[in-house]
Structure 1
Amino acid sequence: MTDVLTGGPFPSRRDLLRYGALGGATLLGGAALTACGGAQPGKPEQGAGKEQLRYGAPKRGGVLRHGMTGGSFSDTLDPAKGMNALDTARAGALFDNVWSPDADYRIQKWLAEEYSSNATADVWTVRLRKGVEFHNGKTLTADDLIHTIRRTLDPSIASPYAGSLAMIDPKQLRKIDDRTVRIGLTSGFVPLPEAMSTFVYVVPVDFDPHRPVGTGPFKYQSFQPGRQSVFTRFENYWRPGHPYVDELHIIDFADDTSRLNALKTGQIDIVDGVPYPLASTLSGETGIRVVKSSKAAIEAFGMRADVAPFNDNRVREAFRLIVDRPALIKSSVLGYATVANDLFAWQDPAFDRSLPQRHQDLDRAKSLLRQAGHGDGLEVRLTTSDLLSGMISGAEVFAEQAKGAGVTVHVDKVDAGTFFGSQGLNFPFAANIPSTGNILISATYTDGPGSTANSTHFHDAEYDTLFRQAIRRTDDAQRTELIHQMQRIQYERGTFIIPAYIDILDASRGVSGAEPEVGGMPYYRYGNLWLA
């Protein structure tokens, strides 16, 4: 029986959108626009930002302009192939997913009306919503979902997202009736809905990427790779009353400074991922609102467990004790973060919150390094890149703090091409941005058995056994206990230093309908936004 982990990268939602590198998903991974059509709004932002109080009820009409960076002439409208931020933004406007995360990153039914699995979670039954239309008037059927899954897995398509569906056996896809599909897996996989909530945009059986037709909130009108895309409201969208705006324009900018200037002067309406050093330039700007999604990304350093000195867990523990987490947050991300405890997926209900918070302990770190044979000092290289605001400065702060434990850290700054190139999984010590998905999905690509995106080369027989048990365990309490055991292993002998959960800042002028969310993407839920 094939392992469910074929090693396909499962990037986090925000990261892919901001840094657009599915070749780069081997280390980082991103934020695909699974629900740009928008999940139902979550809890309102506290304080002065409450949408309904400030702007009133939703309004229809107008043109929404989103300024982004990262496009190129190789941009695509094919949701199975898109790799940069603008590709995935367009996909979220045009298409829908079967499941989608809400503002609290709880997986909700989207195109699925009902779903269930058998007792071993290796057979799933999905019933699609009734009366959902594609932009050309065709009704969504089971054939379209089957075609979408097979197309994503088709080697000739070469989808970078095939790995997220690798647990599905295409020979075990069965149409039960016009709206019902039975999905057979190679083995049990409880988090299938989450795996399909990020990259599996449903397309019709006759899909043409040059004239794309989806079920999303907006219809294709025009596309200029590397420059601009124009979409119009789909009047028969299955969510009554959505979307609100008449048109959506996604505009490519060369850099963040030009984007923010365009927002200030009213040339565009929304920008995503405002760099922290530039956020202050928005303060005092009349009519501009900044939405902060707390703890929406992860800052981390990965240590390769199969090469010296990090093949000795005493060294890995020492490096975790070197970090003064509050000081690193203050210096590297200007305070826009929350102290973390070397574990990802804080938002998962199964997250183990009983583990003691780590604090800087240089005496203990030096003792561990002496035990590991590095009493005369240790010298290492830390590879990083300008991929996330604060990523380089975080590495530099760590290097300065390491001096207190007698460790010399040389910070190697490389460009994105090098960081995500052929050596991307081979840096002994490197900055990292783990998945912001829930625990089992994050483990699927980060450190679980069989993952080719395991940049730290972490292999632990006990951890792997627990993971394989957890993904098959349908009882929530039993699965949570297995996950807690996995996290204790990560905490005690894992390969990540995770000092901070980072905030994401998005800004807009005269736009309402966006709320802070765990996924850090309020302004990508285009179907929820209106012009105030």
Structure 2
Amino acid sequence: MSSHRIPIIQSGISRRGVLKGTAALGAMTFAGTLAGPAAATPKKGGTLRVGIAAGSTSENYDPGTWDNQYVQVFATARHGYLAEVAADGSLVGEVAESWDSPDAKVWTFKIRDGVEYHSGGTVKPEDVIASIDYHRGDKSTSAAKPFVDPIQEMKVDGNAVVFTLEAPNADFPFVMTDYHLPIMPAKDGKIDPTSSDGCGPYKVTNYEPGVIAELVRNPNYWKEGRAHFDGVHLLTILDPAARQSALLTGNVDVIDQVDLKTVALFQRAPNVTILSTSGTQHYTFAMDTRAAPFNDNNVRQALKYGINRQELVDKILFGYGEIGNDHPIGRSNRFHASDLEQTSYDPDKAKFHLKQAGLDSVEVQLSAADAAYGGAVDAAVLYSNSAEAAGIKITPVREPNDGYWSDVWMKKPFSAVYWGGRPTEDWMFSVAYASGAPWNDTFWENERFNELLVTARSELDEEKRREMYGEMQNIVRTEGGVVVPMFASYVMAHSNKIKHPEQVAANWTLDGFRAVERWWFD
């Protein structure tokens, strides 16, 4: 619920705090209660079973392909990263002990000594270079390519890796937390993208894509006070009723994406705790701007005025969220443009834009499945109903849950999508809105936007960055190919046997994908 909003990046963070960081993990504190009181001292033991509303038989170990919360949680369960976004939104070191930069262009990351791989051996600076290099270059198909390609050079300097960027990027340490960028062992300068080997809290013993992943605790994990479970089972349970039934019957201990239609009833169940966090997660309807009629911005604007956002927040999110404004930057982001005019439901304005496009009416199909997000099909129906008054006929198409992300998303011209958001504006825009980005799911091109993206990334003056990111949000709002009707809280549930720190991260679901590492049994 919105009153429990946690900033992903604290508004008071300083430039110096970004340019120089240290991994004082033991000094991390947790403040603010989102659910019941946490146990004072974590206990070791037990096997955690998590029912996740994602997963597909087409998934694999290749870090460049990961695109949903199942593989993302699985990744953080077995891998380590250069840095970690803590529960309070601050940045702490993980494989990197510390980092610093004099100018935001040359970054030095000191690699922690003694971090062991599951297969043996320790993390070396050369592994870091190979792990990042996998996502770079002309032949790379990785979803991380847009934000690591600006790395001009990587070199080893003792126990450190020195990154030289094409231009300054004040947010570069945050980029290194991306779930696509695990640190993996290298051989002859290359990582093996088919390997399960990592340096994270748990080791893989079995993986059946789209079904289950089974892991056991890494006995040599370097972090004190983490990885409390003896084992972890991650289960794909796409159907929301089946997920909740699995928790009620004790077949799983934790689930994500509680069905909000039944959350009021569900939370009355004995031995069940509802956990809600608010951050950057948003639900969208993405239009392929290359395809008619979406290649006409007036049609896109008509569709934005044809949706009743508050109705979706009330009936789909049941109040666990807030209305969006057709751009992906949430109120918890540092440079959220709160002064932009709010696009509201207005059939007359929608009709005006249709006439500007030379149309009296328009007919489109909207693909949706609950694999996109809980209630996506119902949201498409509500959208269809509200748009009708504007002369827009939307025909909702219920797509299969299995294979939605491989067969529908970025394949069908109009589809429902969820985005977890990103900790920084540059990161979110680079992943999903930059020209040529693999996950630019509207295939949108805007010259001014792309110029600003590069300029803002290099600008170290906070107010100038704020102005540029504000303009970019407005460009997406008025010219982009995405309808962003709502920002959604992460609503999870767990058995009362589960305990967790008082503050739970809101940058991703399941405690920033790290519930398997941070939580424990009572």
TM-score, normalising length from structure 2?
0.82
**Which residue type is aligned with residue 448 of structure 2?**
E
> What CA distance in whole angstroms lies between the structure 2 residues aligned with 1:60 and 1:291?
22
Match of 2:446 in 1: 460
> What CA distance in whole angstroms lies between the structure 2 residues aligned with 1:303 and 1:254?
25
2:515 paired residue among 497, 501, 525? 525
**Which residue type is aligned with residue 328 of structure 1?**
L
- Is the contact between residue 435 and residue 442 of structure 1 (CA under 8 Å) also seen in structure 2? no
1:472 paired residue among 452, 458, 474? 458
- Is the contact between residue 57 and residue 209 of structure 2 (CA under 8 Å) also seen in structure 1? yes
Secondary structure, counterpart of 2:491 in structure 1: strand
Post-superposition offset of 1:426: 6.1
> What CA distance in whole angstroms lies between the structure 1 residues aligned with 2:295 and 2:56?
40
Secondary structure, counterpart of 2:353 in structure 1: helix
**Which residue type is aligned with residue 45 of structure 1?**
T
Classify 1:245/1:81 alpha carbon distance in 2 versus 1 (closer, same or farther; 3 Å): same
> What CA distance in whole angstroms lies between the structure 1 residues aligned with 2:353 and 2:448?
24
Match of 2:214 in 1: 230
- Is the contact between residue 79 and residue 87 of structure 1 (CA under 8 Å) also seen in structure 2? no
**Which residue type is aligned with residue 433 of structure 1?**
Y
Post-superposition offset of 1:82: 5.4
Q: Which moved more, 1:409-418 or 1:285-294?
A: 409-418
Structural RMSD (CA): 3.3
Answering whether residue 174 of structure 2 is matched by residue 174 of structure 1, we say no
> What CA distance in whole angstroms lies between the structure 1 residues aligned with 2:161 and 2:421?
29
Find runs of 4+ consecutive structure 1 residues off by over 6 angstroms. 154-158, 207-211
Classify 1:274/1:425 alpha carbon distance in 2 versus 1 (closer, same or farther; 3 Å): same
Match of 1:89 in 2: 73
> What CA distance in whole angstroms lies between the structure 2 residues aligned with 1:311 and 1:201?
37
Match of 2:310 in 1: 326
The percentage of aligned residue pairs carrying the same residue is: 25
Stretches of structure 2 lacking an aligned partner (at least 5 in a row): 1-24
> What CA distance in whole angstroms lies between the structure 1 residues aligned with 2:140 and 2:470?
38
Secondary structure, counterpart of 1:100 in structure 2: strand
Post-superposition offset of 1:422: 7.2
Post-superposition offset of 1:165: 2.7
Q: Which moved more, 1:215-224 or 1:122-131?
A: 215-224
Post-superposition offset of 1:397: 0.8
Classify 1:379/1:136 alpha carbon distance in 2 versus 1 (closer, same or farther; 3 Å): closer
- Is the contact between residue 38 and residue 528 of structure 1 (CA under 8 Å) also seen in structure 2? no
Classify 1:425/1:91 alpha carbon distance in 2 versus 1 (closer, same or farther; 3 Å): closer
Classify 1:459/1:264 alpha carbon distance in 2 versus 1 (closer, same or farther; 3 Å): same
Answering whether residue 321 of structure 2 is matched by residue 340 of structure 1, we say no
Match of 1:351 in 2: 336
- Is the contact between residue 409 and residue 417 of structure 2 (CA under 8 Å) also seen in structure 1? no
**Which residue type is aligned with residue 389 of structure 1?**
G
Aligned residues: 487
> What CA distance in whole angstroms lies between the structure 2 residues aligned with 1:520 and 1:229?
18
2:394 paired residue among 394, 402, 409? 409
Paired residues for 1:264-303 under 5 Å: 264-280=248-264, 282-303=266-287
1:192 paired residue among 168, 172, 192? 172
Post-superposition offset of 1:349: 0.3
Paired residues for 1:94-133 under 5 Å: 94-103=78-87, 105-117=89-101, 119=103, 121-133=104-116
Secondary structure, counterpart of 1:140 in structure 2: coil
Q: Deviations over 1:276-319 (max 9, x none)?
A: 23534522221111111235521222344455444443433333
1:261 paired residue among 223, 242, 245? 245
Classify 1:72/1:405 alpha carbon distance in 2 versus 1 (closer, same or farther; 3 Å): closer
Classify 1:332/1:527 alpha carbon distance in 2 versus 1 (closer, same or farther; 3 Å): closer
Post-superposition offset of 1:98: 0.6
Match of 1:24 in 2: none
Post-superposition offset of 1:71: 4.8
Post-superposition offset of 1:416: 5.5
Q: Which moved more, 1:360-369 or 1:68-77?
A: 68-77
> What CA distance in whole angstroms lies between the structure 2 residues aligned with 1:257 and 1:88?
23
Q: Which moved more, 1:489-498 or 1:459-468?
A: 489-498
**Which residue type is aligned with residue 509 of structure 2?**
G
Post-superposition offset of 1:483: 1.1
Paired residues for 1:424-439 under 5 Å: 424-425=409-410, 427-434=412-419, 436-437=421-422, 438-439=424-425
> What CA distance in whole angstroms lies between the structure 2 residues aligned with 1:489 and 1:518?
25
Paired residues for 1:340-419 under 5 Å: 340-346=324-330, 347-374=332-359, 376-386=360-370, 387-415=372-400
- Is the contact between residue 444 and residue 480 of structure 2 (CA under 8 Å) also seen in structure 1? yes
2:121 paired residue among 125, 128, 138? 138
Classify 1:400/1:531 alpha carbon distance in 2 versus 1 (closer, same or farther; 3 Å): same
Classify 1:255/1:87 alpha carbon distance in 2 versus 1 (closer, same or farther; 3 Å): same
